Structure 1
Amino acid sequence: MRIARERLIAEGLFRASVPPALVAEEIEQSWRRSVSHRVNPGAEPHILGEIDPDSAMLRAAGRILDQWQTNLTDSRMALFLADEGGRIVSRRIVDPQDGRALDRANAAEGFDFSERALGTNGLGTPIEARGVVFVRGNEHFNDALAHLACAGVPIKHPITGRIVGSLSIASQVDVASSLMVAMVRQGGQQIAEALEHMADSRDLELARTYRRFRSSRRPVLVMNSETVMTDLPSLAHLDAESHAILWEKLRLHHWDEDTLRLELPVLGTEAMVRRFNRGGQDAIFALEFLEPAGTLASGQGSVIGAPESATAPDLSGVLDAVANPRAQVSPYEAVQRQLTASAAVPGLIRVVGDPGVGKRHQAARWLQQRTGQAPKIVTARDLVTNGAVWTRGEAQLQAGRGIVVVGGDSLSEGLRRRLGDFARLPRPGLHPGARVVLTEHTGRVGSPAAGADAGPAAVHVPSLADLHGALPAVVREVAATLFPGAPAPRFSPAALQSLLAWPWPGNVAELTEVLAALPQVAQGGLIQTKDLPALMRQGPGSSLSRYERAERDAIADALREAEGNKSRAAEILGIGRTTLYRKMRTLKIDAGERMTAPGQ
């Protein structure tokens, strides 16, 4: 069996064949997925951040895992619970000797056992295969797990049907039993039932809304801020990114009425959109897809029959993302094309934009692509205080390197004229890409550099506020720059909602700082709301009613008084602890960040 797996790795997916009598179909499919993801059979698991002890999964599974651990006292078996990303969030062992062996394989809380990280295993593979698997010995893709046998089952949320984690029962391979499959099925079902009993009222309302519309002859899609339910095959691949953008667009729309008819050219149809409950984070939107709309003259989503003054959500780009969420082109590609167009005219090239939008980065990237060399970065102050900068700049250009002058707003008119003349000097044999680029704030967008002939308009680098709908594409580009070679960052729906709702006053510089502080970005892990900065986790305050804001403040005061102890806070408020947990999730309150009194 090990030889068959190594042959698959060595010969590739198309050339190698695995005897069906030797390897079960679900194991072979997992091996092939592992090879396609270039999983290293000798790789060690890595840690994916801290575990939230108050997560719904752990609260639902805690008592059940305790019971199973007691029942398995004499069995030499271990229990593992993983979240939706394949990270181990709980481990229960019976024999300390087994614990030491599992520790040597890093099979412990916090470690990533997703199939993309370790290949075929009893926690990650059930999530990918969406079904029960039994992985024995060398069927594991990772060599360090070959001494184990693991039966695993995905845990599906009973309300949404979404996979929220997995459960695995493991033993030494020489004492494994096929009964482990039946046992893990039973354990997974018990956790799913516990999740149903704990279900948030919003999810229950969403499920009722979906059942109401599902009886329609037309395909429907129902969603709230965190969950999508649909029977529409063409949108079955709706991911967290496109869901978050679509929901945010509908949430921000000016709803004069609770019903909206939209043309959806990307899908070649129309949809009747209905809003339930009130606005904000608790809103539920139901999209009922009508008969095909035929050929439409406009490529933009529009409101049919709405007055011209109504603000219609521009859903065309959103629905493009739904059809192919990774096909979005970074908006900065347009900046690069504009820089190339500006280079058709000799002289100084100007790049303008708000602070923090990445003017210097875009200019330096463009020059390096054209010259093959990193450009020289010069500040406007250098031009004033250091006369040798001009001589060195001349040498830089002659050597085929570009120059980026940052902070052009502080230049006097005389220095701007001198810089414009310097950029227009004829230099025989000069590399065509060796140009001078000046960065300035947006306020001077209409002022060409003094001493320069009238040329193309200054290249404008947009702020994140201008790129709201394209934010996921910007996140991917910034993450690729920060962590070359790392997979594209993955966000939970709630975390992506928080990013979309944030105003980003610091623009790309702020986004860069946020991503750099998230270890999950570099490691390919799932980024959840709890991983984001505290203020960003709170979401838009405008989505809360006056009553909810008062309730939120009362809970925050109780948590401060109880020094973060949620049981004590619930007693102070006169409510049950479960009710407090539910209200904290609904109002997006984080106890650890709410213990400081206002003004401190």
Structure 2
Amino acid sequence: MEKSRREDEVRSARELLIKQGLVRASVPASLVAEEIEQSWRRSVSHRVDPGVGPHILGEIDPDSAILRAAGRILDQWQTNLTDSRMTLFLADEDGRIVSRRIVDTQDERALDQANAVEGFDFSEQSLGTNGLGTPIESRGIVFVRGTEHFNDALAQLACAGAPIKHPITGRIVGSLSIASHVDVASPLMVAMVRQAGHQIAEALELMADSRDLELARTYRLFRSSRHPVLVMNSETVMTDLPALAHFDAESHADLWEKLRRHRWDQDELQVELPTLGAEAMVRRLGRAGQDAIFALEFTSQAAAGQVIVADSQDSAAAPAGGVAVDGVASHRTRPTPYSDVQRQLTASADVEGLIRVVGGPGTGKRHQASRWLRQHTSQEPEVVAARDLAADDAIWACGEAALRECRGVVVVGGGDLSDDLRARLGAFARLSRPGAPAGARVILTERAGDANEDGADADPPVVRVPALTELRDELPDIVRAVAAELFPGAPALRFSPAALQCLLAWRWPGNVAELSRLLTAFPYPVRSGLIQTKDLPAPMRQTAWSSLSRYEQAERETIEGALREADGNKARAAKILGIGRTTLYRKMRALKIDADERMIAPGP
């Protein structure tokens, strides 16, 4: 009776918190532990529905580091718990269950009904307070019993959960939970999950490749400095810097790529980093290319309100006392080139008549023209193909109607126009239409090289849309903008640093059109999680190892050949190569060989 009354009180307190809100409601300190109340409050702020179960998050990578590290340990604990009714759950950093070990089969049906199954999302943002997602958020051990779970379907369970921290980076890479029916739960579950979590962390340290170990040694070396220090390689950042809150995966990839591409005459240089609001001495350690390590010692904070713009083509733009590292002093402080395109269109509109927008295939000429017209007319423009102007007078009538309706006209494919049609279109654009706003203009889009491109002083004026390779510094912003248009209302895409480095290094022959195809090709589970190098097309992934030495490239090709010969079986491939499987895994990671690249045929 006492237990039932407590469960009712806990449920009522949780429901009151949901109903009254975070400010008005309070939870008695004697009712639940502080970490449970804090988790409830986070769950309410995320608007988690306690009646909605978890959703599937996507396929599980069987070769992921956390699964390889935990496999043997989970086997051992499953054997040790044979006489109990406890279940082991392992989740990755996103809170997705990647392994479930059921000790007593009579629990399997109940767990299946609660979707406590591999592949399902048990993050706190998705499911609220639980033994897998909450340790990741709180970065500590939790014991969630019965109705303390935020989701109603888990009310019959008790779960002791522990975060799994990478022993080198300190990053949370997953969580472990030991669960039982609430009637047979024991506080010993907390000690058990703590011990198992430590064992998995130790296994991760043994698996760590030499690059991470070298990074950790470098961090310890520079950490004794009197200044804040940040060290990084292509995949990992270690720092004690408070400004790390502003240093996300995008900043890491962007800074790494620019430092890597910089022409290093010496092994250290002074740079300004406005994104972090500081000046840093950067030292390059290790070998060049993907094996390099950069150590940033933050020697001073940037002045409040200071804005520093560095142009990779103009060393005079570097800050006093510092060096501009190929534009590393932050592209965020200046407008993007697409803003320049819009301004040029506005300036061109000062001249009567036709406006020409010129650029390479896929650069987004029609998109930029239509965007400008929408902004200046508040209406959708009429879009026609240039080749149709010769065959159908009705097209001209539609254009005339669009202009009189205060809309604009975009004529696509100017290379198909004859000289006579081009002259006619120019005259059509110069016709006076009383009452039409200045923004209701005729814009012709043409491929670069199809016609004279003398610029804004040409007649008619020309606005050039740059190729994506010219916008490498702005690429993360462009990816966000394109994704927002393709997936309106969806959360922003998240790329791992390694995946972003591939995007930054790619040549983008298809420009923005190619970027759009790439983003739409990602299935929803990938778009909703962390996009990694394995999710990118094989040729794009290969840009990550273009800077390998000839010896490393030869070694990479040898390993790929063995994987193809073994039909992707890594144990067989290791035997073919005469090395251990652990060594093979380490080399695959160091040489950027993804598991799904194994069947790629070698190039000509």
Kindly indicate whether residue 87 of structure 2 is the aligned counterpart of residue 78 of structure 1.
Answer: yes
Aligned to 2:420: 414
Question: Deviation string for 1:199-232 (max 9, x for gaps)?
Answer: 1110000011111111122221110001111112
Aligned to 1:362: 368
Aligned to 2:568: 564
CA distance in 1: counterparts of 2:195 and 2:153, whole angstroms: 28
Distance of aligned partners of 1:317 and 1:292 in 2 relative to their CA distance in 1, 3 Å threshold = closer
Distance of aligned partners of 1:438 and 1:485 in 2 relative to their CA distance in 1, 3 Å threshold = same
Letter in 2 for 1:543: S
Contact preservation (8 Å) 1:555, 1:573: yes
Aligned to 1:11: 20
CA distance in 2: counterparts of 1:401 and 1:297, whole angstroms: 39
SS of residue matched to 1:78: strand
Contact preservation (8 Å) 1:79, 1:93: yes
CA distance in 2: counterparts of 1:102 and 1:3, whole angstroms: 25
SS of residue matched to 1:315: coil
Contact preservation (8 Å) 1:261, 1:303: no
Aligned to 1:401: 407
Aligned to 2:257: 248
Contact preservation (8 Å) 1:486, 1:523: no
Letter in 1 for 2:576: I
Matches within 5 A, 1:208-247: 208-247=217-256
Kindly indicate whether residue 208 of structure 2 is the aligned counterpart of residue 199 of structure 1.
Answer: yes
Question: Displacement of 1:117 after TM fit?
Answer: 1.9
CA distance in 1: counterparts of 2:355 and 2:149, whole angstroms: 57
Distance of aligned partners of 1:472 and 1:599 in 2 relative to their CA distance in 1, 3 Å threshold = closer
Question: Displacement of 1:4 after TM fit?
Answer: 3.1
CA distance in 1: counterparts of 2:24 and 2:342, whole angstroms: 42
Distance of aligned partners of 1:12 and 1:375 in 2 relative to their CA distance in 1, 3 Å threshold = farther
Aligned to 2:162: 153
Question: Deviation string for 1:497-527 (max 9, x for gaps)?
Answer: 2222222211111111111121257752111
Contact preservation (8 Å) 1:224, 1:285: yes
Distance of aligned partners of 1:299 and 1:78 in 2 relative to their CA distance in 1, 3 Å threshold = same
Question: Displacement of 1:88 after TM fit?
Answer: 1.3
Question: Displacement of 1:284 after TM fit?
Answer: 0.3
Question: Deviation string for 1:533-559 (max 9, x for gaps)?
Answer: 122222344311011111112112212
Which of 304, 325, 329 is the matching residue for 1:312? 325
- Paired residues, what number? 588
Question: Displacement of 1:397 after TM fit?
Answer: 2.7
Distance of aligned partners of 1:264 and 1:71 in 2 relative to their CA distance in 1, 3 Å threshold = same
Contact preservation (8 Å) 1:559, 1:591: no
Once structures 1 and 2 are overlaid, which stretch shifts more, 492-501 or 393-402?
Answer: 393-402
Aligned to 1:575: 579
Matches within 5 A, 1:480-559: 480-520=484-524, 524-559=528-563
Aligned to 1:392: 398
Letter in 2 for 1:183: M
Question: Displacement of 1:456 after TM fit?
Answer: 8.5
Contact preservation (8 Å) 2:341, 2:465: yes
Question: Displacement of 1:304 after TM fit?
Answer: 7.6
Aligned to 2:441: 435
Instruction: List gaps (5 residues or longer) in structure 2.
Output: 1-9, 311-316
Letter in 2 for 1:316: A
Kindly indicate whether residue 280 of structure 2 is the aligned counterpart of residue 271 of structure 1.
Answer: yes
Aligned to 1:382: 388
Question: Displacement of 1:252 after TM fit?
Answer: 0.6
Question: Displacement of 1:85 after TM fit?
Answer: 1.3
CA distance in 2: counterparts of 1:134 and 1:467, whole angstroms: 50
CA distance in 1: counterparts of 2:391 and 2:351, whole angstroms: 30
TM-score (norm 2): 0.90
SS of residue matched to 1:543: coil
Identity %: 72
Contact preservation (8 Å) 1:45, 1:118: yes
Letter in 2 for 1:358: G
Distance of aligned partners of 1:456 and 1:131 in 2 relative to their CA distance in 1, 3 Å threshold = farther
Letter in 2 for 1:553: E
CA distance in 1: counterparts of 2:585 and 2:526, whole angstroms: 31
CA distance in 1: counterparts of 2:182 and 2:349, whole angstroms: 67
Aligned to 1:325: none
CA distance in 2: counterparts of 1:508 and 1:298, whole angstroms: 28
Kindly indicate whether residue 290 of structure 2 is the aligned counterpart of residue 286 of structure 1.
Answer: no
